[in-house]
């Protein structure tokens, strides 16, 4: 079977590799579509954690269950259409019994296994990490597996800080893969949304996704303050930073009202360095900073339900073949793709 393999840093090759066989509680999935995530760029460039080459790529997929390993029949049947990945981290295994797993945070489990390598014709996966898809979800909705899940989990977190429906939140990176889901999910959950992104094309798209107000990143602080003074918007209770730029975190903090919450989601390249917080302003303004690293399987099921009801739609900016993966990653890195890029595998 064909699979995308990072043989050397910066370059992916399509190789012929053996078709895998499912083991205990594992399933062989025939991959139909895969989503290309920003983190794939960082993996290929090796600008996050260093991963030794060669390694396979991809962590968002929809496919058909083709074969079952022993014990997998308890969870899924042959022929069922499934979504897999769970954002990569813990997408392949979690113990289910530690304090993190029991708190709904398997991504922090010491025994978690990362899911990586769905840019291939077949993939073997742990049956418990699969969500069976209803007919309303199309194969092109595959970016729900990571981008959608991560945005959903980040916005769901707001209620833990008392930020409920009706409050105003800013979504930074609103036109991106995560952002376009974030805007729709926040609207579906009843928030007022300020969509922040760059340039007229992306702002127009953000408006189309349902944002109440859209602002350009370069004028965000000024515009948000002006609109607030004029009584056109309420002050910002939370900034959800979905863009993977350090500047996005700093902007997110600046936009917040007193007592506001910054939810850090987008992972910038390590070379971008850190964002700084002035303790004086931070304490006096009573701010909170939290983070969100993908989501869990129950959140995946909830999101699939929202999408099946038509409340969250996937916007695909580019559809390509597996062989075009290098070009797609380049376009994604240059910010040329509005929404998400997917690859059709079969």
Buried b (16+ CB within 10 A) or exposed e, 123-155: bbbbbbbbbebeeebebbbbbbbbbbbbbbbbb
Distance CA 75, CA 132 (A): 10
Is 109 a binding residue for Zn ion by CB under 5 A? The answer is: yes
Distances (CA, A) of 185 to 7, 182, 309: 37, 5, 12
Q: Which is nearer to Zn ion, 20 or 85 (CB)?
A: 85
Through-space distance between the first and last CA atoms of the chain, rounded to whole angstroms: 11
Cβ-in-10-Å burial (0-12, 13-18, 19+) of 189 comes to middle
Q: How far is the CB of 321 from Zn ion (least distance, A)?
A: 20
Q: Which residues contact 103 (CB under 8 A, 6 or more apart)?
A: none
**Segment interacting with Zn ion, rule: CB under 5 A, options 13-21, 107-115, 120-128, 216-224:** 107-115
Q: How far is the CB of 137 from Zn ion (least distance, A)?
A: 18
Query: Is the link from the previous residue into 54 a cis peptide, with omega within 30 of 0?
Result: yes
How many residues form the binding site for Zn ion (CB under 5 A)?
A: 7
Is 329 a binding residue for Zn ion by CB under 5 A? The answer is: no
Q: Which is nearer to Zn ion, 60 or 214 (CB)?
A: 60
Q: Which one of 33, 39, 206, 244 is in contact with Zn ion (CB under 5 A)?
A: 39
Is 198 a binding residue for Zn ion by CB under 5 A? The answer is: no
Q: Which one of 146, 240, 253, 262 is in contact with Zn ion (CB under 5 A)?
A: 146
Q: Which is nearer to Zn ion, 109 or 240 (CB)?
A: 109
Q: Which is nearer to Zn ion, 132 or 293 (CB)?
A: 293
Q: Which one of 32, 64, 98, 308 is in contact with Zn ion (CB under 5 A)?
A: 98
**Segment interacting with Zn ion, rule: CB under 5 A, options 29-37, 265-273, 277-285, 299-307:** 29-37
Q: Which is nearer to Zn ion, 41 or 101 (CB)?
A: 101
Pairing type for strands 55-56 and 2-8 reads antiparallel
Is 101 a binding residue for Zn ion by CB under 5 A? The answer is: yes
Q: Which is nearer to Zn ion, 157 or 167 (CB)?
A: 157
**Segment interacting with Zn ion, rule: CB under 5 A, options 26-34, 96-104, 178-186, 230-238:** 96-104
Distance CA 263, CA 292 (A): 7
Q: Which is nearer to Zn ion, 37 or 62 (CB)?
A: 37
CB 178 within 8 Å of CB 150: yes
Q: Which residues contact 300 (CB under 8 A, 6 or more apart)?
A: 83, 86, 131, 144, 145, 149
Is 95 a binding residue for Zn ion by CB under 5 A? The answer is: yes
Could you tell me how many residues make up the chain? 346
For Zn ion, the binding residues in 274-313 under the rule CB under 5 A are none
Q: Which one of 4, 29, 31, 37 is in contact with Zn ion (CB under 5 A)?
A: 37
Q: Which is nearer to Zn ion, 22 or 176 (CB)?
A: 176
Distance CA 279, CA 254 (A): 14
The single residue listed with the structure tokens 């209803």 is: 134
Longest Cα–Cα distance in the chain: 64
> Does residue 239 sit in helix, strand or coil?
strand
**Segment interacting with Zn ion, rule: CB under 5 A, options 141-149, 164-172, 195-203, 304-312:** 141-149
Is 82 a binding residue for Zn ion by CB under 5 A? The answer is: no
Nearest CA-CA partner of 148 in 261, 237, 250, 59: 59
Is 154 a binding residue for Zn ion by CB under 5 A? The answer is: no
**Segment interacting with Zn ion, rule: CB under 5 A, options 26-34, 38-46, 189-197, 318-326:** 38-46
Q: Which is nearer to Zn ion, 150 or 184 (CB)?
A: 150
Interface residues toward Zn ion, by CB under 5 A: 37, 39, 95, 98, 101, 109, 146
């Amino acid at each position: 079977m064909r699979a995308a393999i990072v043989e050397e840093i910066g370059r992916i090759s399509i190789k012929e590799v053996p078709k895998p066989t499912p083991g205990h509680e594992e399933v062989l999935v025939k991959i139909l579509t895969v989503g290309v995530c920003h983190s794939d760029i960082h993996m290929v460039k090796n600008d996050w954690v260093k991963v030794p080459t060669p390694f396979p790529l991809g962590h968002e997929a929809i496919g058909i269950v083709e074969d079952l390993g022993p014990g997998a029949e308890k969870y899924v049947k042959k022929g069922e259409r499934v979504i897999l990945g769970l954002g990569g981290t813990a997408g392949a295994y979690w113990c289910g019994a530690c304090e993190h797993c029991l708190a709904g945070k398997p991504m922090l489990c010491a025994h978690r296994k990362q899911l990586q390598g769905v840019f291939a014709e077949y993939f073997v996966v742990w049956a418990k990490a699969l969500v069976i898809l209803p007919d309303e979800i199309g194969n092109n909705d595959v970016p729900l597996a990571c981008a959608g899940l991560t945005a959903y989990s980040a916005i769901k977190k707001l209620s833990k800080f008392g930020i409920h429906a009706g409050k105003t939140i800013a979504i930074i990176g609103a036109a991106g893969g995560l952002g376009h889901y974030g805007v729709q999910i926040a609207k579906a959950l009843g928030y007022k949304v300020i969509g922040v992104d760059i340039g007229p094309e992306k702002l127009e798209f953000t408006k189309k996704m349902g944002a109440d107000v859209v602002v350009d990143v370069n004028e965000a602080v000024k515009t948000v303050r002006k609109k607030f003074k004029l009584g056109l918007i309420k002050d910002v209770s939370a900034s959800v930073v979905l863009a993977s730029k350090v500047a996005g975190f700093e902007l997110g903090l600046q936009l917040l009202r007193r007592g506001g919450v910054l939810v850090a989601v987008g992972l910038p390249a390590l070379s971008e360095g850190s964002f700084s917080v002035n303790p004086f302003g931070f304490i006096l303004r009573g701010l909170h900073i939290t983070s969100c690293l993908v989501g869990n399987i129950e959140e995946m099921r909830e999101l699939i339900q929202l999408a099946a009801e038509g409340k969250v739609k996937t916007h695909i900016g580019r559809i390509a073949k597996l062989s075009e993966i290098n070009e797609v990653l380049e376009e994604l890195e240059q910010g040329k793709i509005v929404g998400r890029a997917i690859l059709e595998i079969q």
